[in-house]
Amino acid sequence: MAPGEPSPGLPPPGQGPAVQVWLTTPTGSRLLSREPDVRFDSGPPPATALRVVVDEGTAYQEMVGFGAAITDASAWLLENRMTAPQRDALLQELFGRYPGIGLSFTRLTMGASDFSLHQYSYDDMSPGQTDSALTHFSIDSNRTYVLPVVQRALAINPQLRIMASPWSPPGWMKTTGSLIKGTLLPEAYAPLAEYFRRYIDAYAAAGVPIYAITVQNEPHYEPADYPGMRLEPAARARFVGGYLGPRFARAGIQTLILDWDHNWDEYQSPLQVLADSVAPRYIAGVAWHCYGGDVSAQSVVHDAHPEKDVYFTECSGGEWAPSFADDLKWFVGTLMIGSTRGWAKGVILWNLALDEHHGPHTGGCGDCRGVVTIDSSTGSVSRNVEYYALGHASRFVRPGARRIASSAGVGGLENVAFRNGDDGSKVVLAVNTAAAPLMVAVVWAGMSFRYTLPAGAVVTFVWS
């Protein structure tokens, strides 16, 4: 422990079920560390403790999981800057069950993003040419490093769910004639729907089922130096209701269609799409990013449309926020806890892996941070704050778990609770955002245990 850091308080042992304690401290002296078990006791918790009452009788969304995007950059580093033993060890650690962190949800880019080595789509044509029949469609650009990494992750964790998002359709489908900026041409709605179908079929043929797609990454943003496209609510509703949804239905495609895939601050945009007379019958849910607004927007939209699922699909750390302690509190409190309390069935961070230069990338973010950093000369791995934030959830909350009721945050203590479907084990994830240690009392089934959580620390409790 670091000098002056309070040691986690352990009360006298109780007589009830044992509780695993996994701790990360803001100094990094403990990193997803297994601490001594505590036990439930039948006595009442101390009046001074902050109570977290866990109620299994009230269950909410079923979880798909937690993870990060296998971007082109992440896959290229794994395939080209690591030896086979290094790569296998890292993928096993990321996607494997304990001692791995069990990532079970990932995102792919349909064509290039800013974290690609070059800009491309799956049907690029020379300027002025079009290919409305998609004669030249091919995912060959993904076969050298993206598909092998995804296939290996699936082999390690067959429960891995994979979603995909385009940054831009082929340039000939757009008003700019380019992957950069612009919007979808009216005559390109049907070809773009077929483009999605072909992508899903091609990936399925490669042994990679696509669980969900979003229509467009960040449809209210047109980046100047990497692929993007503006797609307003009316256009998204028209595309999904008139083209993509019917095309999937005719082809028997079960892949979920999600709207939005952009920030919390413009929640009116998905609400407009969900107000359409046709599109909502094909839309399974709404996807969210973290770069503007507040996580409470997820609940606003969910409360208006409780029949639609919620997913959190992108957030990146970076050098703009270099404090491990601050980032730990934010990522756990806002995303792992706040987003799942806001109905998210899954939480995906941005790049799974980047190198020591925050790349490789083509345009866009020059100081983003991966969940892990791979040294491009040695292949050695550094685990970043995002790794521990994810691991505190992904290692313990398995696919099929349900969020269950727990007391809302009070006094600087934020928390969320889950029950796993396979063995009935309970998981409580908590973060102390206060400046002083907090005594926490978890109350369940007429029993309680208590634990003193250091200031700024994150803890996961697990019991059966």
Query: How do 161-166 and 212-214 pair as beta strands?
Result: parallel
- Output the pLDDT for position 15: 84
pLDDT in tens, 284-331: 999 999 999 999 999 999 999 999 999 999 999 999 999 999 999 999
Q: Across-strand partners of 106?
A: 162
Q: What is the pLDDT of residue 11?
A: 46
d(CA 79, CA 96): 18
Q: How far apart are CA 291 and CA 316, in angstroms?
A: 9
pLDDT at 13: 55
Arithmetic mean of pLDDT, 345-350: 98
How many whole angstroms from its chain centre is CA 389? Answer: 11
Residue 120 and residue 112 in contact, taking contact as beta carbons nearer than 8 Å: yes
Number of neighbouring beta carbons within 10 Å of residue 274: 20
Count of Cβ atoms closer than 10 Å to residue 81 Cβ: 18
**Residue of 56, 62, 218, 266 marked catalytic:** 218
Q: Confidence band (pLDDT; 50, 70, 90) for 3?
A: very low
What is the pTM (predicted TM-score) of this model?
0.96
Q: Is pLDDT above 50 for 5?
A: no
Nearest to 169 by CA among 234, 125, 128, 135: 125
Residue 307 among the catalytic residues? no
Percent pLDDT > 70 in the chain is 97
Task: Report the pLDDT value the prediction gives residue 2, as an integer from 0 to 100.
Answer: 47
- Active site (annotated) includes residue 314: yes
How many C-beta neighbours within 10 Å does residue 402 have?
17
At 231, is the pLDDT very low, low, confident or very high (cuts 50, 70, 90)?
very high
3-state secondary structure of 427: strand
Helix or strand holding residue 353 (H, E)? strand 353-355
pLDDT at 4 over 60: no
Q: What is the pLDDT of residue 43?
A: 82
What is the secondary structure of 380-414 as a DSSP string? -EEE-HHHHHHHHHHTTS-TT-EEEEEPPPBTTEE
Catalytic residue among 5, 56, 232, 314: 314
How large is the greatest C-alpha to C-alpha distance in the chain, in angstroms?
77
367/282 Cα distance (integer angstroms): 37
As a whole number, the mean pLDDT across the chain is 96
Q: Which of 196, 289, 191 is nearest to 248 (CA)?
A: 196
Domains (range + CATH), the chain = 18-61+403-463 (2.60.40.1180), 64-399 (3.20.20.80)
pLDDT bucket at 8, cuts 50 / 70 / 90: low
